Chain A
Amino acid sequence: MENENCCNSDNKDSCCCQDDNNCSLGPITQYDKRNNWLVGEIQTPAGTVPQISTKLAFSDTLGTWKARWGVNRMNYRINPGLYAVGAPDNTSPVLVTANYKLTFDVLRKELCGLSLWVLVLDTKGINVWCAAGKGTFGTEELVTRIAKTNLLQIIAHKTLILPQLGAPGVSAHEVSKHTGFRVVYGPVSAKDIKAFINLEMKANDEMRTVKFSTYDRLILTPMELVGTFKISLMIFGVLFLLNLVGIGPFGFTDFYAYAGALIIGCVITPVLLPLIPGRAFAWKGWLLGLPWAIAVNILNGWPEAPLYTSMRAIGYLLILPSISAFCAMNFTGASTYTSLSGVLKEMKIAVPAIVISISMGIILIFVNSFIKL
């Protein structure tokens, strides 16, 4: 958070002294010159504004990949404030966005050849839609940021273009009331920005609708898998200890059975989502987990192999699809079309069912191990 805090170190005369005219010609937005996405500075009546590149460098792409895999994800952010694209003047459009670096990159790479301002809100490094849901991409932050950047001194018009998905956090008429700026909701996706500006700031139905393509779903799945690592390690630890005390043995079969159930719930179910019958996510995950559980049993020779008892087979049938169901249920948060009421309804049935099913499965497998002893 240090570099967001503009009162630190040598930059005392930035935003902390808006009342003091001597300060007004300092930088409006704090930035680090070493950032390779910065290409220069623009002078404005209120101070200097960093100018940004519309091309993504290798380091940006790498940063996106890391964020998608959960590396430094919560701290992948840029300083809030005003940025310039091209050579904007006081008539240029103003786009408002979040300070999640991934979001910022997705936006700026669509702005090639344009001259405009980008007002970055402090959303604590969260994307626009999620931040709007939490209110950090919100009316209050927008009103504050307009004041902090002295936007009124820099531009002559009174229009701000917000991403449509910022609307859950922003009340357009409240912003107008407090700042005099008119809020225009732009397209959902940054790739439609040019078309939107060319259409004289009118978004068509296509631009207004949230899509959730196979690719959109696929790029979210690494985070789903990463989210299971911690609990998976704990489970492996417990199984290892059980092996040590002589209950078990738990081995390679259990490992790939479990890993398969995770991959089905975290990756395959999200990717195939609309193709799987039913509506509840947990159900969809369970439905794909079931054939996996059957496959694991058959691979181990059930029902013919005498050492592979029906008790263990039923245990797998109870546990594995439930693991997939749980992972798939967690994908509701990454999806674009679930409601709180809907997820609550789903969970009231799914969570008890999953807990009971897994518990019974564990009991069966333990009993089976004890019989073998």
Chain B
Amino acid sequence: MNHKYLKNVTTLILKADKCTGCGRCIQVCPHKVFDLKNGKSEIIDKDGCIECGACAKNCLFNAIEVKPGVGCAYAIIMGWLRGTEPSCDCSGSSSSSGCC
């Protein structure tokens, strides 16, 4: 069964002029948003984007822009209550484990 979420909301932008067609975005995208056409990446399912930011983070040529975030209502509510960016409680202990 195919899941579909809200349409026309994603902040994803692909700058075709910077794309070299390396295909990295296609590899990292968990929802098949991109495909390679005529040697360049193309957005084929924009509404499938969940703004995880994997494509932008792994694009060597800065051809992709997206405001990354987690689609979590609980995190957004906690952010509203604390006056911060969305943040869930799944962050574990805040203390650092670095030993040195």
What residues make up the interface of A, taking CB atoms closer than 8 Å to B? 1, 4-7, 14-16, 74, 77, 80, 122-126, 130, 132-134, 144, 164-165, 167-173, 185, 188, 203, 205, 208-210, 212, 227, 273-275, 279-281, 329-330, 332-333, 335-347, 351
Contact of A171 with B58 in the complex, beta carbons under 8 Å: yes
Inter-chain CA distance A124–B90, complex, in Å, is 9
The 10 closest A-B pairs by CB, nearest first: A340-B69, A333-B72, A338-B71, A124-B92, A167-B54, A167-B28, A274-B1, A210-B30, A342-B6, A341-B9
Contact of B60 with A344 in the complex, beta carbons under 8 Å: no
Contact of A273 with B32 in the complex, beta carbons under 8 Å: no
Residue of B nearest to A214 (CB): B1
Contacts of B67 in A (CB 8 A): 340-341
Which B residues between 19 and 70 are near A, CB-CB below 8 angstroms? 24, 27-32, 48-54, 57-58, 60, 67-70
Flag whether B14 is at the interface (Cβ < 8 A): no
Residue of A nearest to B94 (CB): A124
User: Nearest chain A CB to B20's CB is how many angstroms away?
Assistant: 13
Inter-chain CA distance A345–B77, complex, in Å, is 13
Contact of B1 with A275 in the complex, beta carbons under 8 Å: yes
Flag whether B13 is at the interface (Cβ < 8 A): no
Contact of A339 with B92 in the complex, beta carbons under 8 Å: no
User: Nearest chain A CB to B62's CB is how many angstroms away?
Assistant: 11
What residues make up the interface of B, taking CB atoms closer than 8 Å to A? 1-7, 9-11, 24, 27-32, 48-54, 57-58, 60, 67-77, 86, 88, 90-93, 95, 97-100
A165-B91 contact, Cβ under 8 Å, with A273-B3, A340-B51: no
Contacts of B2 in A (CB 8 A): 274
Inter-chain CA distance A297–B4, complex, in Å, is 33
- Can you list 10 A-B contacts with CB-CB less than 8 angstroms, sorted by A residue number? A4-B97, A133-B52, A167-B28, A167-B54, A173-B58, A185-B28, A339-B9, A339-B10, A339-B49, A347-B76
Contact among A122, A164, A344 for B97, CB-based, below 8 A: A122
Contact among A1, A208, A330, A337 for B3, CB-based, below 8 A: A337
Contact of B3 with A164 in the complex, beta carbons under 8 Å: no
A168-B27 contact, Cβ under 8 Å, with A133-B52, A341-B10: no
A343-B72 contact, Cβ under 8 Å, with A7-B99, A205-B32: yes
Inter-chain CA distance A110–B63, complex, in Å, is 36
Contact among A77, A123, A165, A339 for B5, CB-based, below 8 A: A339
Contacts of A344 in B (CB 8 A): 76
User: Nearest chain A CB to B88's CB is how many angstroms away?
Assistant: 6
Contact of B57 with A170 in the complex, beta carbons under 8 Å: yes
Contacts of A205 in B (CB 8 A): 32
User: Nearest chain A CB to B30's CB is how many angstroms away?
Assistant: 4
Contact among B3, B6, B10, B99 for A212, CB-based, below 8 A: B3
Inter-chain CA distance A185–B27, complex, in Å, is 7
Contact among B11, B57, B76, B98 for A343, CB-based, below 8 A: B76
Contact of B97 with A335 in the complex, beta carbons under 8 Å: no
Contacts of A16 in B (CB 8 A): 99-100
Contacts of A209 in B (CB 8 A): 30-32
User: Nearest chain A CB to B9's CB is how many angstroms away?
Assistant: 4
Contact among A172, A188, A210, A341 for B58, CB-based, below 8 A: A172
Contacts of A210 in B (CB 8 A): 30-31
